[in-house]
Structure 1
Amino acid sequence: MVLVMGRPGGGELGAVVGVLREWQREGAVAQLHPGDVGWFWRFGAEAVGGAVRVWRRGGRVLAVGLLDGERLLRLATAPEVRRDEAVARRLAEDLSRPERGVLGEGRACVEAPGDALVQELLAEEGWGTDEPWTPLRRELGEPVEEPGVRIEVTGPGRAHVRAAVQRAAFDNSTFTEARWRAMAAGPPYDDARCLVAHDERGAAVAAVTVWSAGPGRPGLLEPMGVHREHRGRGFGRAIALAAAAALRDLGASSAFVCTPSAHRAAVATYVSAGFRPLPEVRDRRRDG
């Protein structure tokens, strides 16, 4: 049967998120997580529907992509077809040819599992590699140490606080209370929590959103940030510990995060919170 690409129809997004949950496996190479789609949901369900691509064979979903902006596709595949040549060739063709309607002309990037055959086929199509990222993982079999600061779980009445910390942590952030509400209304947030850390005076100093994929599966931190006026005081470690503890409470087997390798302070923060660096990964990049 031919692999067919399309967009999810109305009401199908929840099913796509469910498929992504099933594909998360402990010990496997990390790939697009339900939490990645959940974080994108801050732009609303219509935007998610326009950004998601699915590849089906015989009606079964075998690959899911999320257009995270105009030039980056984040790709996941069913574990059993990751080295399937027919699937990989169709994916590589769809991603390399602008007329297929996935990525346009010019520079583009594809984030795909490192052991997927599509990585090699994109290289054959002339795709190079982008800047390195460092994945980090913390096992959650044992209880997580206390963060040492007060941690608040964000509800609708405190969404403005969570949004304000996000904007203070990332210079170009457009996160708002309204976008938090849109995110929280999406099906991925059923297995998620937003946490805010407060200092001894009660100021909100750091925040994180954690996403579970279900009991016994890896959970994701996306995003995590420390208020620019409160950096260098250990709040990054504290919120990372709180994130790991929250994912353990949600039944996750491990906590996973990925950060640009050039952000050495971020890597060091996660390591200080018990996360173990894994081998670097790189997106596939086409320059023209």
Structure 2
Amino acid sequence: MTTSLERPRPHETPAALTALRDWQHDGAVMQLHPGDLGWYHRFGADTAADATRTWSRDGRILAVGLLDGPDLLRLTTAPDARDDRALAERIADDLADPDRGVLPAGRVNVEAPADAALQDVLAERGWPTDDPWTPLRRDLTDPVEDPGVHIETVGPDRVQDRVDIHVASFDQTTFTVERWHAMAAGAAYADARCLVAYDGGVPVAGVTVWSAGPGRPGLLEPMGAHRDHRGRGFGRAITIAAAAALRDLGASSAVVATPSDNPGAVATYASGGFTAGPEIRDRYRP
């Protein structure tokens, strides 16, 4: 029985997406979502494939990782492989050795489900924990309230509004119209929507939501409110609109995570009906 590291070619990336969709379920701890791969697809199909890592046994994918930038690997496993010690040991070996091509040299963080055997293996090998993140979730069984502002689902005809909101919401971003089109060309975007909140015709907040399929949790990634219009409830409004859009797509719940040292973001999601769960922490290679 062998476990192999595979880096999907662009046309094979949907296999990783399919696995991630199948692994999403309510009650699971926060984990890598197909929407994370979908958002990363803004850099293009080849780049997204190069950033994806999979571990397989006998032809079945057991773990998927996304190198989300040069210093963070976001990784999850199949639910029935969370306690698979042999898989965890193999992944840990790959993560420790830059020559294996999974992680670059230097300090790199690894995000893995809190209940995965990999967490125990990395702890045993001396990988410390880093700053906490707060996962939040909203159940979508019941109808979602009206957000109280004008919301539009935007596509290619109004993509500039979505890009402008993102640029005005984050201090460092490389998002462009061209990258929106690259994102929208990815397989994951078939189950995604971009929403923009308007105040008097002016775009004031935006979000992209990603469905993992009916009856599964959907993801908000990313959400932002224009820095010139904060403090007026638009972040709350777009968060509620995101929950409503995911419910329309058949999602059972909406999930998101934000750094715990950003209390404003935590408060915004909470005001939109999201409940915070136990904090989670990455581990990093010392």
Same fold (TM over 0.5): yes
Which secondary structure state, in structure 2, belongs to the residue aligned with residue 127 of structure 1? coil
| 8 Å Cα contact 1:129-1:282 kept in structure 2 | yes
Partner of 2:238: 239
Partner of 1:74: 74
Map of 1:205-220 to 2, 5 A cutoff?
205-220=204-219
Which secondary structure state, in structure 2, belongs to the residue aligned with residue 279 of structure 1? coil
- TM-score normalised by length of structure 2: 0.99
Amino acid in structure 1 at the alignment position of 2:58: G
Partner of 1:60: 60
Partner of 1:22: 22
Tell me how far 1:46 sits from its aligned partner.
0.6
Map of 1:120-269 to 2, 5 A cutoff?
120-199=120-199, 201-269=200-268
- TM-score normalised by length of structure 1: 0.98
2:279 corresponds to 1:280: yes
Tell me how far 1:7 sits from its aligned partner.
0.5
| 8 Å Cα contact 1:108-1:285 kept in structure 2 | yes
Amino acid in structure 2 at the alignment position of 1:148: G
Tell me how far 1:10 sits from its aligned partner.
4.2
Tell me how far 1:134 sits from its aligned partner.
0.3
Tell me how far 1:286 sits from its aligned partner.
2.1
Tell me how far 1:277 sits from its aligned partner.
0.4
Tell me how far 1:195 sits from its aligned partner.
0.2
Amino acid in structure 1 at the alignment position of 2:138: R
Q: Which aligned runs of 4 or more in structure 1 are off by greater than 2 angstroms?
A: none
| 8 Å Cα contact 1:35-1:188 kept in structure 2 | yes
Task: Return the alpha-carbon distance in structure 1 between the equivalents of residues 86 and 227 of structure 2.
Answer: 48
**After alignment, is 116-125 or 214-223 more displaced?**
116-125
Where does structure 1 lack aligned partners over 5 or more consecutive residues?
Answer: none
Which secondary structure state, in structure 2, belongs to the residue aligned with residue 208 of structure 1? strand
Between the two proteins, what is the percent identity of the paired residues?
63
Which secondary structure state, in structure 2, belongs to the residue aligned with residue 11 of structure 1? helix
Tell me how far 1:101 sits from its aligned partner.
1.1
Where does structure 2 lack aligned partners over 5 or more consecutive residues?
Answer: none
Tell me how far 1:9 sits from its aligned partner.
2.7
Deviation digits for residues 178-236 of structure 1 (CA, Å, limit 9, x no counterpart): 1111100100001000000001x211000000000000000000000000100000000
Which secondary structure state, in structure 2, belongs to the residue aligned with residue 70 of structure 1? coil
Which secondary structure state, in structure 2, belongs to the residue aligned with residue 22 of structure 1? helix
Deviation digits for residues 99-130 of structure 1 (CA, Å, limit 9, x no counterpart): 21111222110000000010111111111011
Task: Return the alpha-carbon distance in structure 2 between the equivalents of residues 268 and 229 of structure 1.
Answer: 19
Task: Return the alpha-carbon distance in structure 2 between the equivalents of residues 26 and 10 of structure 1.
Answer: 29
Amino acid in structure 2 at the alignment position of 1:176: T
Amino acid in structure 2 at the alignment position of 1:70: P
Tell me how far 1:257 sits from its aligned partner.
0.4
| 8 Å Cα contact 1:96-1:125 kept in structure 2 | no
Task: Return the alpha-carbon distance in structure 2 between the equivalents of residues 173 and 67 of structure 1.
Answer: 17
Tell me how far 1:282 sits from its aligned partner.
0.4
Partner of 1:6: 6
Map of 1:84-95 to 2, 5 A cutoff?
84-95=84-95
Task: Return the alpha-carbon distance in structure 2 between the equivalents of residues 150 and 207 of structure 1.
Answer: 12
Root-mean-square deviation over aligned CA pairs: 0.8
